[in-house]
Amino acid sequence: MTFCATTSLSAQQNKISVASFNRMETDITARVTAPKKDQNGEICALIRIVTNVKDLMFEPDALGITARENKTGEIWIYVPRGARRISILHDQLGILRNYFYPDIIEKGTVYEMVLNTGDKEDKPVIENNMQFFILRPEPANANVYIDEEQVPIENGLFSATMPKGEHTYRVEAPMYQPDAGIITLADNQVVKSVTLKPKFGYIEIFSLPEQDADVFIDSIAVGKTPYRSDRMNTKEYRIRISKEKYFPIDTVLNVIPGETVRPTFHMISTIKPRVPMNTLIMAQVGYNPNQTTAGVMLGFGKKKNGFYIGFRSDFGSAKGDLVCDENGVIEGETEAPFYKPGVKHQSRMSVTGGYFRQLSKLFYLYVGAGYGTRTLCYETEEGESVKDKDKSPSGVAAEAGIFLRFNKFLISGGYHTVNGKHHEATAGIGLFF
């Protein structure tokens, strides 16, 4: 961005300025009368600075000043061929910084610079072929080149009084893309800001469930998580994250100019986590047209498999003094006795154990076996209890069914039998935690 400088910048020139700068074609002082040689043995150019202020200080460019002499009404400075600029400083008058010579400085040549130091009397007219220029680089420590010559940066700025017209600039800094162009100095002072685009980025690495993991970039150990890199060139890097008792992670990260890559790595432990034991508690009922039972199931499981034990009963009591067949004929008799109408005594009990397995998120299957008994007795008119042996099975009890799981809640449905002779449909509700 280029814009006009503020009046505060102009104030820097109010005390010291150059009224004129001319080549003295007929002056032979530098060649014949009072020549001086630079460190390379070449005859210097002489700049005769016309001023009555004798305590001025001078800061040259990289070529330096070979000699200085205070004369009446003048200060003579000898500079090597090719000198480009000079700064003039004074405690009270201020600074004229980076004045660019408007003419080529040649060896053995005399130049006259007339200074304006703010005197009210006989104040010369400032030449109108020079202009003030400021360049502000970002980063502030970048190298700045004006007309292919590197110039000094002070407080993040380059400032100079330069001949009007076109001048080239170039700004460079390590790990930044250079920028170059042309500025034109005319009637207004010019300030130009040059912001370089970075050719670097950063990497920030985090690890879970724990930090303090070792970080390797291109096989070099660089630190531990949480990790933040210094400036890194824009390219791909091989990253490795490792920590004791965790599987290492290898990946590739691409550093993008001017950005920070912030991955978070989720590490997997090499120690298998302990699988908690789940508990199943369920209340069940069994239905047979002639009888109803109630029971409980208690189980334990890990992951998809488990086992259980179950108990069911009608909590009744029945015991026969005599035994009859399904027709009511008592053993050893030929005819059935008279029984009290509608009087029956029943008892029912089963103890089982089994296995259950999860088939899906919702469904479980269970099967089991154990011992079961069912007793049915009639009462004769004489008050004797007679057991129906055909309807009173005992022995192997078997069951199968499904659980439906809804978070911690279970409902069940199944089938239960004793010796394949007594059958029940079962249902239940419980918890699985």
**Tens-place pLDDT, residues 16-63:** 888 889 999 888 899 988 999 999 999 999 999 999 898 999 999 989
pLDDT at 13: 45
Strand order in the sheet with 214-217: 220-224, 214-217, 236-242, 249-254
Q: What angle do CA 56, 16, 100 make, to 5 degrees?
A: 90
- Between residues 3 and 21, the one the model is more confident about: 21
Residue 121 pLDDT class (50, 70, 90 cuts): very low
Mean pLDDT of the chain: 89
Q: Is the pLDDT of residue 155 over 50?
A: yes
> Cis (ω within 30 of 0) for the bond into 35?
no
* pTM of structure: 0.47
Q: Which helix (H) or strand (E) holds 236?
A: strand 236-242
Q: How confident is the model at residue 119 (pLDDT cuts 50, 70, 90)?
A: low
CA gap 340, 379 in Å, rounded: 6
Name 396's Cβ contacts closer than 8 Å, sequence gap at least 6: 369, 370, 371, 372, 418, 419
pLDDT in tens, 74-108: 999 999 999 999 999 998 888 888 899 988 999 99
